[in-house]
Chain A
Amino acid sequence: MRSGIKSLNTASNTSAPPDASLSHRIKRNLFDTPFDSLLTGVCGLVLAYLLYQIVDWAFLSSIWTAEQEPLCRDASGACWSVIDARHRIILFGLFPFEEHWRSTLACVVMIGTIVASCFPWFWTGKKLSVLWLCGFGTFYLLMHGGLFGLSVITPEKWGGLALTIFIFAAVSLIGMPLSILLALGRRSKLPIIARMVGLFIDFFRSLPLLTILFAAAVITPFLLPGWLQGDKLYRVIVGFAIFFACYQAENIRAGLQAIPAGQDEAGLTLGLNYRQRVSRIQLPQAFRNSLPSIVNQFVITFKETSIVTIVGFFEILASGQAAYGTGQWTQHYIEVYVFIAAIYFVFVFSLSRYGAYLEKKLRVGHD
């Protein structure tokens, strides 16, 4: 029976009493049975081995500067020379060399905007709109130029990390208001509108993103008259934004459905009209309810920006491939991919951690 009680603890891992001391917890969770101790030992060895291999490859036996590139042939570790020599291509693509400071500054402004919108102080419709319009406006002004003596640089020359961030920001900026409209439309009391919006959302959700981007790049010139087509980049962004909005709308709708009917009815009895009820009662609660999944959708969208490389844009993945594609660098593809993966990881991991933090914080008072 003793073993039975013990394995009961194994089966459910929420059984820790809150006031267990650290040493007690370590003993119970790592060295409970001989098998556990063995497992801990093996895992420790595996972890230590992995850590050593990675540190050795990335730091101890690696070559750092572009001048030392000839040494790479004999080095057992990473050859970061390729990054030292080609990082500007990876980060900025074909952006004119002298103007790279503009691209850098633009990225910093946009990242600042994204970080700022993570603070609850900005969480009102007005503040968020102003923040994003200012941030995005500054980004566009810096990248495109044409004012304050900045030379004009057309979007064909944008590339690298700056293009990735531009696509992400533009998709969010267009997609978010659209997603609110779609969510409200799908819950509309007018049956025809609700059906049509539902059909629209389900249609876009059933397709892979790539087919939508492809359609936006290749097909829309057939569907739209010339004056409405715009640049290929903007068509792809609009297609991406519609796709994003369809997913985000379902998240918001889930949040709307979780609001008790009494809330809206209370608004009705107070004599509020539809717009007031939506903006003061429904949306604030819906966003609170589904904030974690909304943030998660942004995380997914940031990762998915890499797909635009297939429809022919020079974002960070494509510019990375160009960076190792020439001359003496062709052997160093792993370093370039690791560099790009690290950039993505930093963005995606911090955003998803933020989402997890919100989920934890918002759950307080609900259970």
Chain B
Amino acid sequence: MLTLFRNQKFRDAVLQAFVISAVAVLIIAMIMNTRSALEAQSLTSGFGFLERSTGWDFSFSVLPYTISDSYQRTLIIGILNTLLLGFLGISLATILGVVIGLVRTSKNYLFSFLGTLYVETFRNIPLILQGVFWYSIVSHLPRPRSATSLGDMVFLSGRGVYFPVVNISVAAVATMLALLVLWVITLFWLREKLDRSHMYHQIKRLGWCMVVLVVLLIGYFSHAAGTPVLDVPQLKGLNFRGGMRMPPELTALVIAIGLYGGAYIGEVVRAGLMSVPRGQIEAGFVSGLKSRHIFTRIRLPLAVRAVLPSLTNQYVQLMKATTIGLVVGYSDFFMIVSTSINQSGQTLELLAILMGGFLVINLSIAYVMNSINRRIAIKGYEVRN
């Protein structure tokens, strides 16, 4: 027995077995404790409650809903709200980030200093503070009657931002999207088939013109007769009619996430641009390329490949950051789940749904970004840091 204990492998095995059993005991104890706690509160566990109607209201929804909708539908609305917020915030952050990255790599001291000022301001203040700050600004905007208008098309008011939308049916939009997707798939197929020959480029150019034309035609003919193509919000009485309304909660959060994320993405983009080896750029000059072409054909493509992994990371972080929506009352996934927990008492099930939801969203972002990364990788070339 003693000699067995002198054997390293045996000791390792014993140690690991001990750890496994300790963790198992811990988990079983937790489950038993939970069960008795739930019994004490006479709650039934399981996912049956998803079919029940909620009976409570929330502030914003991308889909139409009533308070008699089921928990299942309400939770789905929560996920969609989070995705909408994430999509808008991340898009704004990406645009700002690219601009800031370019500004900060400028060799003009004063110009790049403006970029630095932006980054240091928005990166060093907590996102949640920026969220409540913008929310109190946006919700203190004037009433709809005295709303600030931008060219009589977009209206900024304390009730939200009103902007015009194209007046066409959902079916028409779906047809257009389907057409576009089909065309892009055809393009990929053609590229494999024709191997980027001259003919491929001609077909590509012609095809794009056709597709855009058809999309515009569908758009023009599908809108209801007698109504204007563009549905512009108009002041009727105390409020706006027509157009689309972006509630102040969403507006504030998009601004906050956009500005905060823009500072981080700006740094990522800057690092990417700096990581392109000088030799590559000098080679471009030697080949007689114009500096515009050196940027679009050499520096940018290499920088994009260098930034994608850290960009993925930033996107996942920003997606997780959307949970602060709760603090201004935006009904995102987290808020819906926490209200559901308060109302239904199905704590553990809802928490599992919450964690599962975020896991799926984040893994999808990572999957999409990683496939792009693999798709555009240049074989045998890695950006040296």
Residues of A within 8 A of B (CB): 3-5, 7-14, 29-30, 36, 39-40, 43-44, 46-47, 189-193, 196, 206-211, 214-215, 218-219, 221-225, 303-304, 306-307, 309-310, 317, 321, 333-334, 337, 340-341, 344-345, 348-349, 352
Contacts and interface: CB of A to CB of B under 8 A. Distances in A.
B191 to A, nearest CB: 30
A11 B37 contact: no
B132 interface: yes
B323 A210 contact: yes
Please provide the 8 A-B residue pairs with the shortest distance between their CB atoms, ordered closest to farther. A7-B291, A208-B320, A43-B110, A306-B126, A348-B124, A303-B126, A210-B323, A192-B16
B60 interface: no
Given A29-B109, A211-B358, 20 more contacts: A4-B285, A8-B285, A29-B107, A29-B108, A40-B110, A43-B108, A189-B12, A190-B12, A208-B334, A211-B351, A219-B347, A219-B351, A221-B37, A223-B33, A223-B34, A303-B125, A310-B327, A334-B136, A341-B129, A349-B124
B125 A341 contact: yes
A225 B299 contact: no
Interface of B: 12, 15-16, 19-20, 23, 30, 33-34, 37-38, 105-111, 113-114, 120-121, 123-129, 132-133, 136-137, 140, 278, 281-282, 285, 291, 294-295, 299, 320-321, 323-324, 326-327, 334, 338, 341, 347-348, 351, 354-355, 358-359, 362-363
Interface centre among A191, A222, A317, A337 (most CB of B within 10 A): A222
A344 B122 CA distance: 11
A211 B323 contact: yes
Nearest to A6: B291
A281 B197 CA distance: 59
B12 A337 contact: no
Overall SS of chain A's interface: helix
B10 to A, nearest CB: 12
13 contacts: A4-B285, A29-B108, A30-B109, A40-B108, A207-B320, A208-B323, A218-B341, A222-B34, A223-B33, A303-B124, A303-B125, A303-B127, A310-B128
Nearest to A331: B140
A36 B126 contact: no
Contacts, number: 153
A99 to B, nearest CB: 27
A307 B324 contact: yes
A224 B30 contact: yes
B132 A317 contact: yes
B114 A344 contact: no
B281 A344 contact: no
Nearest to B26: A223
Contacts of B338: 214
Contacts of B12: 189-190
B324 A193 contact: no
Contacts of A341: 125, 129, 133
A352 B108 contact: no
Contacts of A306: 126, 128-129
B22 to A, nearest CB: 11
Interface centre among A3, A191, A215 (most CB of B within 10 A): A215
A10 B129 CA distance: 38
A36 B108 contact: yes
A345 B124 contact: yes
B110 A47 contact: yes
A44 B110 contact: yes
Contacts of B321: 208
Contact of B358 (A12, A40, A206, A348): A206
Contacts of B120: 349
Contacts of A223: 30, 33-34
A358 to B, nearest CB: 17
Nearest to B31: A223
Interface centre among B108, B114, B347 (most CB of A within 10 A): B108
Contacts of A39: 108, 110-111
Contacts of A7: 291, 294
Nearest to A346: B124
Contacts of A304: 126
Given A192-B20, A310-B324, A345-B124, A207 B355 contact: yes
